[in-house]
Structure 1
Amino acid sequence: MVTIPTEIFRLYFEESNDAILLIDGSNWKLLAANKFAQKLFGLSEDDVSKTTFPQFKRIIKLARRDNTESVFTELTLDTKDFGEVRVDIYAKLIEWDGKQIIVATCRNVADHYFMSEKLVQTDKLVLLGQISASLVHEIRNPLAAINLNLQLMNRAVGDNKELQSYISSALQGVERISKLIDVTLGFSRQSTPQIEEINLNAIVINTVDLMNHLMKKKEISITFDLKKDIPPISADPKHIQQILINLISNSIDAVEGNGKIILKTFLEESAEIKEKFVCISVEDNGVGIPEEDLDKIFNPFFTKKPNGTGLGMAITQKLLYKYNGTIIVSSKPGQGTKIIIKFPFVQD
């Protein structure tokens, strides 16, 4: 059997991306916590020896009940700075120096739930894309026939203004369905991204230039707060620009008199995990989103705009998933909306 140096175990303990705790099974005192655990529970080096987790009594009870030395469960632990934190715990009971020690590996339940939901949502989007692609191909042929017959009818009615009005309205409906089909096909299409290093500041400015005429039309003021040395991200620039177009378009539609849109880029470091994020935020002073609609805005075809497709935010989410990105939406009716998109920063 190979002898593994103690130093390797120490390095694993200190540098692990999981929170690891050593608990005294007799008094629930915290004996040691690695760097990740200190971040997760808001502990300083001095706090470690002064902290107790009586909730770990449950670990001992479960181990005795099941006659085992290994326990997997969920606990809610009180922390100094973050209040209660729910964690999944894999615990191992060991004997050391005459004491029963609990070695616990902890993972934030919120992070686990988010990743599970993200996987479920991704599967839904893939399935919807497949169904949508099949449906729109079936719709296109009869729609083309309807369009052709309406145009023939329009010629046949001559100068009958009333009938022309009805036919014109029907043709507009056909055109809207046709545009919706194009957007849906774009949503369902699986294309290979052309990855390159992107300067987010440059792509923000370029996107605003493209949409400037829409903002001028509504007399919207635009403010930039772009971090000077923002690190680049690796992505397809067309995808990032499409995300920005979707978000800025929503802001343009949402604002009314004295409309304002603020665009920011910044670097964020997570307090709980060893990871940095390159971020863009789009903030407006528009009408806001009702609380009951916040959990629906990523559902394909959900819209309250008269001429909206309801695919903008679904496409945004789908594109972000390609780059392990996340999106955070905060909004209050009458006060506006702020959307932050985050991309993991991978340092060379």
Structure 2
Amino acid sequence: MARPEKLLVDRDEGIIEHLFADAFAGKNLGMAGADTEFTFRKIAHDFNNLLSVIMGNVEITIKSVAEHSQIRMNLEDVLDAGKRAQDLVRKMMTVGLPTGHQLELLEVQSVVKCALRLMRTSLPANIEVSENLNDGSLILADYSQIHRVIMNLCTNACQAMEKSGGRLSVTLFDTDLSPEDCRDLSMTPGSYVCLSVGDTGHGIDTETMSRIFEPFFSTKARGNGLGLHIVREIIDSYGGDIIVKSDPGKWTEFIVYLPRIYH
């Protein structure tokens, strides 16, 4: 028979899950959906860091306690509760990330052109757009997710040039990657559609580069640090990859690879 404190943990876990479900839906919080998602992912991220410290210390301590002792049983309960808490945190941290795909054959050029038309309506006069888009490049993907990737990368590029001005360069082409080409990429050799988004802005320093895809990491005063993280999640979900190159103070280029479909 389960001990009373174990039953309390099970009961409270169920209550917490219902509270989180309501919170994710934005109920009774007076918050917009996107703000709600960000708030709870941020809480989850910070809570996960605290859990890691607690769990690590319990695991170390439990090794020095005699087996079958009451203290060890109590520590094992703490460890078990911690693991349950980590499961809840994982659920919280997936809110707003890509889930199901509405897959269709997409001509990437048309998605890029649509995104650039939207971008041009709000670009300042000191930013020019250069595009070199191969036609006929097909991928199997969700239109809204690919559009989101393009808009995010182009928006970041323009924000890097909003003070000094410069050039937004968008290039689309097909490429065949060999095993050697894929050595530093999380992809298999094959045919890919390659999208390059570059800017002549302030560039990215080495420290920022090493953390640029981390959730909640941002160098912007009002950034939430989720844009590039979600971009990477989307690209990874299609078996592609994204890399970034930069010369601090001069330029930055994001390069996206997505599996090409022949039709």
TM-score (ref. length: structure 1): 0.48
Contact conserved, 2:127 with 2:167, CA < 8 A, in 1? Answer: yes
Describe how 1:1-348 pairs up with structure 2 within 5 A: 134=20, 137=23, 143-144=29-30, 179-182=34-37, 188-189=95-96, 191-215=99-123, 217=124, 219-228=126-135, 230-255=136-161, 256-272=163-179, 274-347=189-262
User: 1:306 Cα deviation (Å)?
Assistant: 1.0
Give the 3 Å change call, closer, same or farther, for CA 180–289 of structure 1 in structure 2. farther
**CA-to-partner distance for each residue in 1:121-146, whole Å, 9 max, x for gaps?**
xxxxxxxxxx9x949917956753xx
SS in 2 for 1:310: coil
Partner amino acid, structure 2, of 1:202 = S
Q: After superposition, what is the alpha-carbon deviation per residue over 1:16-38, rounded to whole angstroms, capped at 9, x for unaligned?
A: xxxxxxxxxxxxxxxxxxxxxxx
Letter in 1 for 2:223: G
Between the two proteins, the alignment pairs up a number of residues equal to 184
Query: In the TM superposition, what is the alpha-carbon distance from 1:218 to its structure 2 partner?
Result: 5.1
Q: Is the 8 A contact 2:138 2:261 kept in 1?
A: no
Higher share of residues assigned strand:
1
Q: Which amino acid aligns with 1:180?
A: D
Distance 1:281 1:301, change over 3 A: same
Aligned to 1:16: none
Secondary structure at the counterpart of residue 178 of structure 2: coil
Partners of 1:206 and 1:138 in 2: CA distance: 31
Task: Provide the rounded CA distance (Å) in 2 between the counterparts of 1:179 and 1:276.
Answer: 36
Indicate the SS of the match to 2:234: helix
Q: What's the CA shift string for 1:270-297, capped at 9, x where partnerless?
A: 2326511111000000111111111211
3-state SS of 1:224 partner: strand
Counterpart contact for 2:109–2:137, Cα < 8 Å: no
SS of the residue aligned with 1:287?
coil
Assess if the C-alpha contact under 8 Å between 1:289 and 1:337 holds in 2: yes
Mark the runs of 5 or more structure 1 residues left unpaired by the alignment.
1-130, 145-174
Give the secondary structure class of the aligned counterpart of 1:188: coil
Instruction: Give the structure with higher Rg (CA).
Output: 1
Change (3 A) 1:237 1:187: farther
> Does the residue aligned with 2:224 lie in a helix, a strand or coil?
coil
Distance 1:202 1:141, change over 3 A: closer
1:346–1:208 distance in 2 versus 1, CA, 3 Å: closer
Match of 1:60 in 2: none
Q: Which amino acid aligns with 2:169?
A: I
Q: Would you say the 8 A contact 1:221–1:261 is kept in 2? A: yes
Sequence identity percentage? 27
**2:137 maps to amino acid:** P
- 1:231, 1:202 → 2: CA distance? 10
Mapped to 1, the partners of 2:260 and 2:222 lie a distance apart of 37
Task: Tell me which stretches of 4 or more aligned residues in structure 1 moved more than 4 Å.
Answer: 138-143, 182-187
Higher RCO (CA 8 Å, separation ≥ 6 residues) = 2
Give me the whole-angstrom Cα distance separating, in 2, the residues matched to 1:192 and 1:323: 12
Q: Deviations over 1:220-259 (max 9, x none)?
A: 100011123x421010010000001110110011013232
